[in-house]
Each structure stands twice: as structure tokens, then as C-alpha cells.
Structure 1
Amino acid sequence: MPVPIRIFAPVVNEAHFLCRYEIGWPEGAWTSAAAGVDAVQALHLALQKIGVERRGLRISRSEKCARSTCWRGQNF
């Protein structure tokens, strides 16, 4: 299933750069951000976070939180 992802340009926020992003899950949008010492690092970390969050949802849905800990399905 396609999941829309919006990545915003990094902006200066006090002493670091902040790159916001939004993942359009069917259950509702998830908004977060990544911070870095420069714009490239902030963007790189945001892309990594998006990859982890997408995998977390895929695992929890495929296994239906059968593991002892579950992340996006909130079964800790």
C-alpha cells in the first residue's frame, strides 16, 4: 500500500538545523523531525527515521504484535 511522505526543507532552529517530515498513515498523519549540525545531516537523519518508522509499522502489522514488544501497535 502506498504511504505518502512529505519532507520539509531543513531550517535553522537555535543552534542546530531541524528537518520536519510527515508520514500519511491510513490511521492518520504522523509528524516528526530530525535535528543535525547542518542541513545535510538533518535531512539524512530524517530519511533514516522515516525508514525505521515505516519498517516498524510493517513488522507490527505482519506479525500482529506477536512479539513480546511491539512498537507502532503499542503492545509493550
Structure 2
Amino acid sequence: MEHYIILARSVTYAQRMQKSLGRAGLRCHIFRPPRDLTDKGCAYAVRVAVSDLPEALAALHKDGLDPVQIFLFQKGFYQEVEA
């Protein structure tokens, strides 16, 4: 199943992102990203549906929450995308 993951610099930042997305009516899930996606040991990620990414980024921007990186999960692989 295709989805985007938005990397956050900490669990607290990921929780803030989750609240922001929830206020925008978007479903998301917080989890630890695969180790090969980040060199920061304390990074967390927020998973959103492919169709929700534009609205998710707009909601995060509105609340002053900038993602560290964004990846598309497709066909079993992660590919970094521009924000």
C-alpha cells in the first residue's frame, strides 16, 4: 500500500504534527522510521495517505511545523520527495 511518511526530529514534534493533521481532519499514524532513512537516532515519522499529502503539508505549514524529510513508500521501497 502506497503512503507518505513525514519525518519529524523528535517524538514531541511528531505528536504536534499528529495534532495538527487531526485538526485538519486527516488520519495519520506515528512510528519509528526505518534506520536507513535517517541518521538521527531520535527521529519519528508520521504516515499519511498519498491523497492527503498536499492538505497535510498545508496544515503543517499553517501551524509552523516543518518536516525534516518526506518519503513515498511504493512497491516496497522508500523514495525521498521534495516538500
Question: Normalized against structure 2, the TM-score is what?
Answer: 0.31
Query: Comparing both chains, which one has the higher relative contact order based on Cα–Cα distances under 8 Å and sequence gaps of 6 or more?
Result: 2
Question: Normalized against structure 1, the TM-score is what?
Answer: 0.33
